[in-house]
Amino acid sequence: MRVNVTYSVQLAEIRQLVQELLLKVEDDIEQINELFPAIQESINKEQESKAVQLLEGCRQNITNVDHALFDCRNILNGYQQATLQLREMAATTKEENINVEGG
């Protein structure tokens, strides 16, 4: 069962967090690639039960990849929104400082 967990991290840590998630995705993709020859071999040897079991494992890894990529996308969307807000705040502050100094 999957659950959503919310916790806060420093903005500077976001890229590292996403990189770690992507490493896990890479591991899952490697496992998928390793399963394909075993699936094909099971089919060729008429071991359908084994092929079905391996296919289910492959499907589970694909599901894990999809969930992790979805999480990465959401994290990066939030990161993008936060950095945009920071830039807007910095521009507003700079503009206010110019108005105070110039006015």
Three-class DSSP labels, the chain: CCCCCCCCCCHHHHHHHHHHHHHHHHHHHHHHHHHHHHHHHHHHCCCHHHHHHHHHHHHHHHHHHHHHHHHHHHHHHHHHHHHHHHHHHHHHHHHHHHHHHHC
* In-domain check, residue 47: yes
Query: What is the average pLDDT across 60-81?
Result: 96
Q: Is residue 35 within 8 Å of 61, Cβ to Cβ?
A: yes
Residue 84 and residue 78: Cα distance in Å, rounded?
10
| Domain that includes residue 97, residue range | 15-102
* In-domain check, residue 10: no
* In-domain check, residue 60: yes
Number of structural domains, the chain?
1
Q: Side chain identity at 46, as an amino acid letter?
A: E
pTM: 0.80
For the record, the structure tokens of 62 come out as 């694909």
Q: How confident is the model at residue 74 (pLDDT cuts 50, 70, 90)?
A: very high
pLDDT in tens, 7-56: 889 999 999 999 999 999 999 999 999 999 999 999 999 999 999 999 99
What are phi and psi for residue 3, nearest 5 degrees?
A: -135, 150
Q: How high does pLDDT run on average in the chain?
A: 92
